Chains A and B, each alone.
Chain A
Amino acid sequence: MIREWLQVLLYIGLLLLLVRPLGAYMARVYQGEPTFLASLLKPLEKWIYRISAIDPQAEMDWKAYATAMLVFNLAGLLALYGLLRLQHFLPLNPQGIGALPADTAFNAAASFASNTNWQSYSGEANLSYLSQMLGMGVQNFLSAATGMAVLVALVRGLARQSQSKIGNFWVDLVRGTLYILLPLAFILALALVSQGVVQTFRPYPQATLLQALRLPDGSLLTNQTLAVGPAASQVAIKQLGTNGGGFFNANSAHPFENPTPLTNFLETLAILLIPAALTHTFGLMVGDVRQGRGLLAVMGVIFLGMLALAVWAETSGNPLLAQMGVDQRPSEGQAATGQPAAISQPGGNMEGKEVRIGPLASALWATATTAASNGSVNSMLDSFTPLGGAVPLALILFGEVIFGGVGSGLYGLLAFVIVAVFIAGLMVGRTPEYLGKKVEAFEMKMASLMILIPLALVLLGAALAVSLPAARSAVLNPGPHGFSEILYAFASAGNNNGSAFAGLNANTPFYNIVLGVVMLFARYWLAVPALAIAGSLVRKKKVPTGAGTLPTHTPLFVAWLIAVVVLVGVLTFLPALALGPIAEQLLMAAGGGI
């Protein structure tokens, strides 16, 4: 257990250590400054502009920027849909996998275009290698680069004054992909391959079982088909781009996606790496790194609090099992005394967890993957204790602003910042300002939309599902746990997270269509108001700092922003949480069943 805690400390330390260099590098990329990769990538960048007829010097106003973003994402969605429907006619399909059903293909296309990566299909059973790479893999890069582009446009709106242009979407997209995502993904993919993550175009091999299995009809099963494929390259970007969609159905609990403690550590680190570093990029681009540190502190405080709760819940074990005499205490094994190593156990609640990963690293991953809008899993969240499962649910319900998606998390948090300075301004009777820009009615309307739209999507969607028999019949558990499964599905889609609680058969026309539409609203109906705020702020002059200016980098403002995020974000969902995980936890503590 001490080693596992050291891993958590190493994780946080390394993450904080990487924030400054990566954040500074990304600021250079988005400000068009030369980087150490320029000699290698500049010719490719220029070539892309030339064949795409893009003038990199031509900047856009917010409407042109938003239009380019929307049209590009629509094209990506349609291309992915077509690919998934036509994959059986296309190459790199050694298993001869057929077309994805239409509703599943729509859901998957909406999911990957919107950086959600909710999966109602099984990768190894339903997708060809071409679909995995050209479809899901490419969208992993482009949807992440889109989120980062929207963020930097908003940051330019804050940093510039008396202008109308907020950058060029195509340039931000290309530079984000070429200079940030591709190099990081390349390095991580190589590291993953070195650890045994599969990367091959060969058909699925047959393995002979060490012990034959007798089937119910009496026949003997002696072989097993091992699903393989070009996984490492996709796993790398799925973590770095806060996408999270697994190459295999079991996601990062699968030994071919996450085979060793080192891959587990690197993948967990990759989940939060870019969202954390973007806070420093933000600080540099607005000319005050203290602002970025303040936002990182907000994210960090909430993250650590939720991590502590999840770790406590999962390492404490299940009290119902304890009553039955099941030993859930950690034991280090007795190999030195000749005892078999099998008696060694990590302890805690091990249902739905990999023995090699254990409850602490599972809780760390679950917290990171839902703090960021990543959604990959290395354990099954449905099997967490009610409070342990409430942590990922609550982190999603914060609106994916505690790190959040690459780009989208920070522009979501900036919407909360606008609300926070507005409320603070009301308290002292001054026109609220942020970074020298007056926050007025329009910014408040847009920020309110960005906060209210996910709330409405989650609550209305869950209400619709529990009121329809066809939707209720997809739930595999009765009572509060079943409600949690439905709420989690809509929370995940309505905040572009993409993780699944499991226990819900979501591959039905109802869930595929409704969740698909919810994911689109959650992504684009937040990105457009964010760009509108950029368009409004960029026109304004900066107001000189005065004695009455509210400083937005101090511990006081950090605490205030945390309070606003918690009050506005999560407490809205308290009644829904009371019907699900809170009721279930109380039932479990009382020794009752669910």
Chain B
Amino acid sequence: LAIVELREAEKVDMIDLGFLFLAFLFFAITLTTLELYEKLMGK
């Protein structure tokens, strides 16, 4: 409900989505490093 109200008040805009995307992107990249390190580690 709060998000709907905020949306109607035009307080939630693309900038919030941008920051959320930035956070997701960072953690997604970090998660991919796990595979990279696993390969480096070898058997």
Contact = CB atoms under 8 A, between A and B. Distances in A.
B23 A85 contact: no
B5 interface: yes
A74 B30 CA distance: 11
B37 A532 contact: yes
A90 B2 contact: yes
Given A74-B24, A106-B19, A63 B34 contact: yes
Interface residues of B, number: 24
A81 B6 CA distance: 14
B10 interface: no
A442 B42 contact: yes
A79 B19 CA distance: 13
Given A74-B23, A78-B23, A528 B42 contact: no
A70 to B, nearest CB: 6
Interface string B6-43: 10000110011001101110110011011001101110
Contacts of A138: none
A448 to B, nearest CB: 12
A532 B23 contact: no
A67 interface: yes
B19 A81 contact: yes
A71 B23 CA distance: 11
B31 to A, nearest CB: 6
A517 B21 CA distance: 12
Given A99-B11, A528-B33, A89 B19 contact: no
Contacts of A446: 37
B16 A85 contact: yes
Contacts, number: 71
A525 interface: yes
B3 A86 contact: yes
Interface in A514-549: 517, 520-521, 524-525, 528-529, 532, 535-536
A66 interface: yes
A329 interface: no
A77 interface: yes
A102 B34 contact: no
Interface string A101-112: 011011001100
Contact of B6 (A74, A77, A85, A524): A85
Contact of A102 (B15, B31, B37, B41): B15
Contacts of B3: 86
A445 interface: yes
Nearest to A524: B30
Contacts of B40: 442, 445
A90 B5 CA distance: 12
Nearest to A102: B15
A234 B40 CA distance: 42
Nearest to A90: B2
Contact of B31 (A67, A85, A106, A536): A67
Contacts of A63: 34, 38
A535 B37 CA distance: 10
Contacts of A532: 34, 37-38, 41
Given A99-B11, A524-B30, A78 B20 contact: yes
Nearest to A527: B30
A102 B11 CA distance: 10
B37 to A, nearest CB: 4
A96 to B, nearest CB: 15
Given A63-B38, A70-B30, A520-B26, A105 B19 contact: yes
A551 B33 CA distance: 34
Interface in A467-497: none
B6 to A, nearest CB: 6
A86 B6 contact: yes
Nearest to B17: A102
Contacts of A66: 34
Given A71-B27, A81-B23, A525-B33, 6 more contacts: A70-B30, A99-B6, A102-B19, A524-B26, A528-B30, A532-B34
7 contacts: A67-B31, A77-B23, A85-B11, A85-B12, A520-B26, A524-B26, A535-B41
Interface of B: 2-3, 5-6, 11-12, 15-16, 19-20, 22-24, 26-27, 30-31, 33-34, 37-38, 40-42
- List 4 tightest A-B contacts by C-beta distance, closest first: A89-B2, A532-B37, A106-B19, A74-B27
